[in-house]
Amino acid sequence: MSARRYLAIAAAAAAVAATTACGGGSDGGDRALVRGAIPGLGAQGAGDASPPAPTSSTAPGTPEPTSPTAAAAPTVPAVPAVSWPDLPSDGTARAVVTPAGVVLPVTGGGDGAYAVSTPCARQATVAGTPLSRAHVVLDPGHGGDEPGAVGPGGLTEAPVNLAIAQETKRLLEASGATVVLTRSADYRIALRTRAAIATALEPLAFVSIHHNAEPDGPWPGPGAETYYQIANDASKRLAGLLWEEQVAALAPFGADWMADTDAGAKYRPASDGGDYYGILRRSAGIDAVLSEAAFISNGSEEALLATSAFQLAEAGAIARAIARFVATDDPGSGFTEPYPRTTPAGPGGGVDDCVDPPLE
């Protein structure tokens, strides 16, 4: 996809936002308008759309991006109606919510005293509310003494990830889904515990929410990246739907966007050919995606990420993508072949020097 076509996507998305703000049609009509109006997102050939080619920060003849403080917040389209399937109710506690609100995977016990793996992957026995299954598990990345990426203005990734996960949870629950967060407050949690919660609850979709750093350079629109599991076609479809929804939802905001030159729905292989990212590797067996919707290290996008309007727009995009994944056969789009990466991902996710939060 050329830079010119990508800018057409952004313009069409803005027009859609304006239409819905003026009382456009029902949710089904709005969604059809979005997919029909945005090049590359239509029903025909949607799975073949590619992310844009690298370009300068402003294409020739294109107005300069609007300042985040001046940009009008677009209306967030509703989550499509979903007939969520009944969850199995065999009475088995696979996870538990402790009195302190911490969700933990159950390893044994019962009758009010559960053996669990703690956030730092230690063994403990706790009381709490048992969980058997969930439709969706959301994973707010980082937390506690692992803040994640930090913007030039000091905004840290972990609280943004949590705020967007909480809003996504609210939107999906309003549509009838049962949703669980791997992290409910600002505390550290190991990757193995995050993945254990997800695999225990066997959701229809598992999304790990992050925000990016160290882009390659300027981009004409949102540089969203969604990583899928290499050996999982359903994970790939979910990543394509998530990329689609994020670009459409975030493009109407004015920003001096940044991106990697292979932005889009993609994978990252480890040296053995499997998934590089631990959260995707450890959650094998369920349909999982790692989301990097915007670059918090870019001051323009950092300013947007600090606003409730942008957080709601991103949460709505995640919720709509999951709903479409469950309720439709939409193939998704934005698939791209990643360039080889040798630089390790940021630190974090292990158990060394990890301190558990209060559990009860």
pLDDT in tens, 174-219: 999 999 999 999 999 999 999 999 999 999 999 999 999 999 999 9
Alpha-helix residue ranges (DSSP H) falling in the chain: 3-21, 27-37, 157-174, 191-201, 233-250, 278-282, 299-305, 308-327
pLDDT score of 72: 60
pLDDT score of 89: 80
What does the DSSP 8-state code read for residue 259?
E
Q: What is the tens place of the pLDDT at every residue in 289-310?
A: 999 999 999 999 999 999 999 9
User: What gap in Å lies between CA 174 and CA 316, rounded to an integer?
Assistant: 12
The strand pairing partners of 137, in sequence order, are 180, 206
pLDDT score of 345: 86
DSSP per residue, 202-246:
--SEEEEEEEE---SEE-SS---EEEE-TT-HHHHHHHHHHHHHH
User: What gap in Å lies between CA 211 and CA 161, rounded to an integer?
Assistant: 7
User: What gap in Å lies between CA 19 and CA 310, rounded to an integer?
Assistant: 18
All domains in the chain, ordered by first residue: 3-85+133-327 (3.40.630.40)
User: What gap in Å lies between CA 267 and CA 337, rounded to an integer?
Assistant: 8
What does the DSSP 8-state code read for residue 47?
G
Q: Which residue has the tokens 């009381």?
A: 127
Dihedral over alpha carbons 227, 104, 347, 139 (to 10 degrees): 30
Tally the C-alpha atoms within 13 A of residue 28's C-alpha that lie toward its C-beta.
4
Provide the token pair at 215: 């882009």
pLDDT score of 6: 44
pLDDT score of 77: 85
Q: What is the tens place of the pLDDT at every residue in 110-137?
A: 788 999 999 999 999 999 999 999 999 9
pLDDT score of 109: 84
Give me the tens of pLDDT residue by residue for the chain, a chain 360 residues long: 434 444 444 444 444 333 333 333 333 333 222 222 222 333 323 333 444 443 333 333 333 333 444 446 777 788 988 999 999 888 899 999 999 999 999 999 878 899 999 999 999 999 999 999 999 999 999 999 999 999 999 999 999 999 999 999 999 999 999 999 999 999 999 999 999 999 999 999 999 999 999 999 999 999 999 999 999 999 999 999 999 999 999 999 989 999 999 999 999 999 999 999 999 999 999 999 999 999 999 999 999 999 999 999 999 999 999 999 999 999 999 999 999 998 888 788 999 999 999 999
User: What gap in Å lies between CA 249 and CA 17, rounded to an integer?
Assistant: 8
pLDDT score of 43: 31
Question: Which burial class, exposed, middle or buried, applies to 353 when counting CB atoms under 10 A from its CB (0-12, 13-18, 19+)?
Answer: exposed
User: What gap in Å lies between CA 355 and CA 251, rounded to an integer?
Assistant: 39
